Amino acid sequence: MDGVADEIYNLIESLLPQSTVGSGFTSDLLSLVHAVYAKEKDNLSLIVLPVLCCQATDGDAHRAIPVAAAWQLLYLAAQVLDDIEDGETDHALWVTLGKPQALNIATGLIFASQRALSGLPRWGVSASLTLTFLDDFGRTILRMCAGQHADLAAQNGADLPLEQYQAIVAAKSGDFFALACRVGAMLGAGDAHQVAHYAEFGYNLGVLLQISDDLVGLWESGPRNDLAAGQQTLPMLYAMSVAAPRQRAVLRELLLQAPGDAGAETEARQMIIALGAPIYLLAEAQVHRLQAEAAVRAAGQFSPASDQLLTLVDRVMPGLSLIHLTGDAESDLFSSQDIEGR
Amino acid sequence: MTTHLPRIIHLATTDADFCAELQAAPQVALAERGLEANADELAALVELRSLIAIPPQKLATLLAIVPTRIWQAVAPIPAPAA
């Protein structure tokens, strides 16, 4: 893993400008890249998704390095922009640099991503496939922008329908991860059906990641707490969709007060949980996990790389591991020592 | 995605009889109440049946604990062959 990730990050560094005029720009870009690299090494290995999908379809993993770099650069750009647009402060680049420079960094990351793709012929990829990838990245970015636009508009209004939120998640997260797996598989020796199956895998992995974030954001303390941040995410929208009219009115009021009122935040959380949001999120997550697994199996080739893709799915939402607990799930976990210390 | 899954989960959370029926015979329980689930949703409900029976607040407490525990237990992904 380290070897592949190192190659990807070495390529990313080589794509950044060397000009002394822009030394501050380059060093700020590198700081961001290095910070994410350090985090990735101890976290999910999502950066290698295109490489794994290339390997799973009998491709030369080396040729997928620039695609993985392009995808990672785009991911970083989206993260910087998202933080600004959502007013996110936790580890946000704009808090350190200010919004104008953070926007400039994001712009640089997008064009570095384009450079990674346009250099693909030097890695043995045909000019025709390179153009296809450039177009695929462009189309996906536009769909993500449309999803983000709808999300931002919805966060300013009330009662976002659950189905609309799911469509936004599909565009922002599902399509982005589908891109990584699709282009990786296209570099392999698989046919169009295999490529479609790996894209389907990526889509479900992306949605699963968002569901996991939404679940954690329900009780996370600090700036990542979605209730305190006034974010409308899956638990809140589920609760609003199933609550009786009176409950809904109460919950709506609590959600409005939650950003500045710890009591309202706690009450809103309890209400959302009592309406069944945790088990609903697990059910939705399990559906996408099953679909992701089915997609890899439908691709028909089993290899260490496809096994690693399945491992990745298991790691995304650890809460689903509760399914495998035997006996009394409550006593299994509640009796452990580290809970006593909480 | 289905529009019935939220209703199914909410009913299972608030109606003990339905919750018990859902665990025993999910397809029958859904059909009796005019609710539908596709194959993946049905499979998910079956796999989650032991968790559906846990009171929501207790399940939330479990979930708040689990992430760190599982992350620590998972070995890193080995290097793909170049």
Q: Are A187 and A165 in contact (CB under 8 A)?
A: no
**In chain A, where the domains are located:** 2-316
Residue B40, Cβ neighbours under 10 Å: how many? 16
Are A153 and A168 within 8 A, CB to CB? no
Distance of alpha carbon A147 from alpha carbon A178, whole angstroms: 15
Task: Give the per-residue pLDDT at A338.
Answer: 44
pLDDT band at A341 (very low <50, low <70, confident <90, very high): very low
Q: What does the mean pLDDT of chain A come to? A: 87
Number of Cβ within 10 Å of residue B12's Cβ equals: 26
> Is the model's pLDDT at A6 over the cut of 60?
yes
Give the rounded percent of residues in chain A with a pLDDT score beyond 90: 59
Kindly indicate the confidence band of residue B75, based on its pLDDT and cuts at 50, 70 and 90. very low
Chain B closest CA to A295's CA: distance in Å? 13
pLDDT of residue A342: 35
pLDDT band at A332 (very low <50, low <70, confident <90, very high): low
**Predicted confidence (pLDDT) at residue B73 exceeds the cutoff of 60:** no
Q: How far is CA B52 from the centre of its chain?
A: 6
Classify B3 as helix, strand or coil: coil
Across A169-178, A211-220, B6-15, B40-49, least confident range: A211-220
Kind plus residue range of the DSSP H or E element containing A110: helix A99-118
Question: Angle B69-A292-A55 (CA atoms, 0-180°, nearest 5)?
Answer: 95
Q: Inter-axis angle of helices A234-242 and A192-219, to 10 degrees?
A: 80
- Is residue A135 scored above 80 in pLDDT? yes
pLDDT score, position A23: 64
The fold for domain A2-316 equals Farnesyl Diphosphate Synthase (1.10.600)
**CA A87 to CA A78: how far, in whole Å?**
14
Alpha carbon distance A304, B78 (integer Å): 9
Three-state secondary-structure class, residue A74: helix
The per-residue pLDDT for B35 is 95
Query: Lowest-confidence range among A128-132, A154-158, A235-239?
Result: A154-158
Identity of the amino acid at B28: V
- Check residue A47 and give its pLDDT: 86
Cα separation, B63 vs A334, in Å, equals 11
Are residues A342 and B65, on separate chains, in Cβ contact within 8 Å?
A: yes
Contacts of B76 in chain A (CB under 8 A): 1, 45
> Which residue type occupies A334?
F
Q: Can you give the pLDDT at residue A323?
A: 77
Q: Nearest by CB to A1, from B14, B44, B77: name it.
A: B77
| ipTM, two decimals | 0.86
Return the pLDDT at A104: 93
- Residue A324 burial (C-beta neighbours within 10 Å; 0-12, 13-18, 19+): exposed
Residues A59-110: pLDDT tens digits? 999 999 999 999 999 999 999 999 999 888 878 899 989 999 999 999 999 9
Q: Mean pLDDT lowest for which of A7-11, A209-213, A317-321, B33-37?
A: A317-321
Residue A249, amino acid: A
> CA angle at residue A8 from A7 to A9, to 5 degrees?
95
Q: Give A229-239 pLDDT, tens digit per residue.
A: 888 899 999 99
Distance (Å, rounded) from C-alpha A51 to C-alpha A11? Answer: 14
CA-nearest residue to B55 within chain A is A274
Cα–Cα distance measured from residue B17 to residue B4, given in angstroms and rounded to the nearest whole number: 18
Give A271-312 pLDDT, tens digit per residue.
Answer: 999 999 999 999 999 999 999 999 999 998 788 889 889 988
**CA atoms of A150 and A152, how far apart (whole Å):** 6
pLDDT of residue A333: 56
Q: Give start and end residues of each alpha helix (H) in B15-52.
A: 16-24, 26-32, 39-47, 49-52
A256's tokens: 């409005």
Confidence of residue B72 (pLDDT cuts 50, 70, 90): very low
**What is residue A325's predicted lDDT score, i.e. its pLDDT?**
63
Are A112 and A66 a contacting pair, CB within 8 Å?
no
C-alpha A277/C-alpha A215 separation (Å) is 9
Q: Could you count the other beta carbons within 10 Å of the beta carbon of residue B77?
A: 18
Phi-psi region of A277 (alpha: psi -120 to 50; beta: other; left: phi over 0): alpha
Contact assignment for B10 to A276 by CB distance below 8 Å: yes
Q: Check CB contact of A219 with chain B, cutoff 8 Å.
A: yes
**Which of A52, A280, A311 is nearest residue B9 as measured by Cβ atoms?**
A280
pLDDT score, position A76:
92
Give the CA radius of gyration of chain A: 21
Does residue B20 register a pLDDT over 50? yes
CB contacts of A291 in chain B (<8 Å) are: 40
